[in-house]
Chain A
């Protein structure tokens, strides 16, 4: 019996587990979370009287079906929740659960580690009340809470309108939906988005609803500052007509699309390649999700594709792993899934153009803006280090000199912006700035864990 280990219990990991189980195997599904579903399809925490199907709207059917499929196999798989994988070496996972360290070997490893929001700093973004856009949704779905009474949704992402719609539906005051990408750029990206008209129409419907409700919907803005002393009191923007706008609010949801959690993939041996469209380092896989011997990547942790692509790519990676282990014949199912994943991810390439990462705005950030919120490093600290004689021009050297990206989150939050600041200040391409190398542990581990080895 081979050990097939899946990490992550979002749509990709859940579906991978279902496929492995359907082939008569008992997968080990390891997750840090306590509620299955990942970030998008997260189940509410126990006791929360949240009508998820109503909140999920047009996606309710998929949400319910995914969780129903998973419930059916849950007791038949080795499901380890609340478990961190902090290192991978020599086909062995190093685990930590409730402060106790252990290991787990594997024959095939399917990483479905998901993604987090990609963030561009703005003056005031470290104030209490500023959260990621994904975080704003998690607060609602997992905890039944709004991140504030009067919320501004700012960034560049189709999820701005979706999250704002969910907030409005439950009674929050949405003060503005402000997207940094100009409307004309969105229109220009339409042809590639037309591949998936349903998703496109859904996005337009959310925006239409907001607009009808009198919520200002702005495109082509520049975020100027989040104001406040010890909490958010307003956000100021420059709109597409170059007018200063100020919106009083007590919370801001900030998001510029997603960035994959690639740390474990890198430790497991995946190669990361710079993607010019997303301006992110993404793990290299074949069309089935293979990233190396016995290593498979699925879901948004492999390539941003959204929930539908995550479900399909999870199943696809599981089929590939089973086939490679000699437990199944590659067949028509795999080919169908491969085409589906390819189509859905191509749509995301269009989205990345319609909701662009604001490279120029990041490059123009003032020196005083905080870049690394863990280590309290400013944009100016980075530029000054680079300006020195023999100053660094490579991102890992910049980190060594300034501590930017060296803190508890290990560059998860500041990494993409640091990359742009370095590339912009050196006048080099994004890829030429290099990539923050990952080191274990992928998340902080307490010294006491080493004393409690199971």
Chain B
């Protein structure tokens, strides 16, 4: 069963954050994050999941949030993989929920 993944934000900001705006793209769409945010917090503040399980396609949004469970990774458009909970956002990051084409 392939579940679609929620478009609604999973994370709710509890405490304000100061910092420069950091432009990213997700699936080709421009999104804004704030300096200091993790990739995970930035994405889950805007949507309900990070990636799809390789086996069956169900949406996943991370689990331990401390770099141990390896569940929260996201693709970059160049075929890289970032551990979203421990990676701070950086300007120009191009992220993808779809599997990038690896064959040249």
Q: Give the residue of B3, B5, B10, B70 whose beta carbon is less than 8 angstroms from that of A147.
A: B10
Are A146 and B12 in touch, CB under 8 angstroms?
yes
Take A231-B6, A373-B63 as given contacts and tell me if A412 and B69 are in contact as well, using a CB distance cutoff of 8 Å.
yes
Interface core residue of B38, B41, B64, B70 (most chain A CB under 10 Å): B64
1/0 per residue B33-62: CB within 8 Å of A? 011111011001100111001011011111
Take A138-B65, A373-B71 as given contacts and tell me if A47 and B38 are in contact as well, using a CB distance cutoff of 8 Å.
no
B103 within 8 A of A: no
Are B13 and A144 in touch, CB under 8 angstroms?
yes
CA separation between A47 and B13, bound complex, in Å? 14
Residue of B nearest to A114 (CB): B66
* Chain A hits for B15, CB < 8 A: 48-50, 140, 144, 170
* Chain A hits for B81, CB < 8 A: 446
Take A129-B48, A147-B10, A231-B6 as given contacts and tell me if A116 and B64 are in contact as well, using a CB distance cutoff of 8 Å.
yes
Which residues of chain A from 12 to 46 have a CB within 8 Å of any chain B CB? 32-34, 39, 45-46
Are B67 and A32 in touch, CB under 8 angstroms?
yes
Q: Give the residue of B8, B12, B62, B88 whose beta carbon is less than 8 angstroms from that of A45.
A: B88
Q: Size of chain A's interface in residues, with CB distance under 8 A?
A: 53
A93 within 8 A of B: no
Q: Give the residue of B44, B58, B66, B70 whose beta carbon is less than 8 angstroms from that of A134.
A: B66
Are B5 and A230 in touch, CB under 8 angstroms?
yes
Are A128 and B70 in touch, CB under 8 angstroms?
no
Take A143-B41, A144-B17 as given contacts and tell me if A128 and B60 are in contact as well, using a CB distance cutoff of 8 Å.
yes
Take A47-B17, A48-B15 as given contacts and tell me if A131 and B5 are in contact as well, using a CB distance cutoff of 8 Å.
no
* Chain A hits for B16, CB < 8 A: 49, 144
Q: How far is the CB of B67 from chain A (nearest CB, A)?
A: 6
Take A130-B63, A145-B45 as given contacts and tell me if A231 and B8 are in contact as well, using a CB distance cutoff of 8 Å.
yes
Q: How far is the CB of A430 from chain B (nearest CB, A)?
A: 22
Q: Size of chain B's interface in residues, with CB distance under 8 A?
A: 49
Are A230 and B10 in touch, CB under 8 angstroms?
no
Interface core residue of B5, B6, B36, B65 (most chain A CB under 10 Å): B65
Residue of B nearest to A130 (CB): B63
1/0 per residue B1-40: CB within 8 Å of A? 0011110101111111111000000000000001111101
CA separation between A33 and B87, bound complex, in Å? 10
Are B17 and A49 in touch, CB under 8 angstroms?
yes
Which residues of chain A from 36 to 92 have a CB within 8 Å of any chain B CB? 39, 45-50
Take A138-B66, A229-B3 as given contacts and tell me if A47 and B58 are in contact as well, using a CB distance cutoff of 8 Å.
no
CA separation between A216 and B26, bound complex, in Å? 39
A126 within 8 A of B: yes
Q: How far is the CB of B44 from chain A (nearest CB, A)?
A: 8
The 5 nearest A-B residue pairs measured at CB = A135-B65, A144-B15, A128-B61, A408-B70, A47-B19
List 23 A-B pairs, Cβ < 8 Å: A34-B86, A34-B88, A45-B37, A49-B16, A126-B53, A128-B10, A128-B59, A135-B63, A138-B65, A138-B66, A143-B40, A145-B14, A145-B44, A146-B13, A230-B3, A230-B6, A230-B58, A231-B59, A250-B10, A374-B71, A375-B55, A409-B71, A412-B69
Please give the residue numbers on chain A whose beta carbons come within 8 Å of chain B beta carbons, in ascending order. Answer: 32-34, 39, 45-50, 116-117, 126, 128-132, 134-136, 138-140, 142-149, 170-172, 229-231, 250-251, 261, 373-376, 407-409, 412-413, 443-444, 446
Beyond the given pairs A32-B86, A131-B64, A230-B6, 5 more chain A to chain B contacts, judged by CB atoms under 8 angstroms and listed by A's residue number, are A148-B10, A231-B6, A261-B68, A374-B71, A408-B70
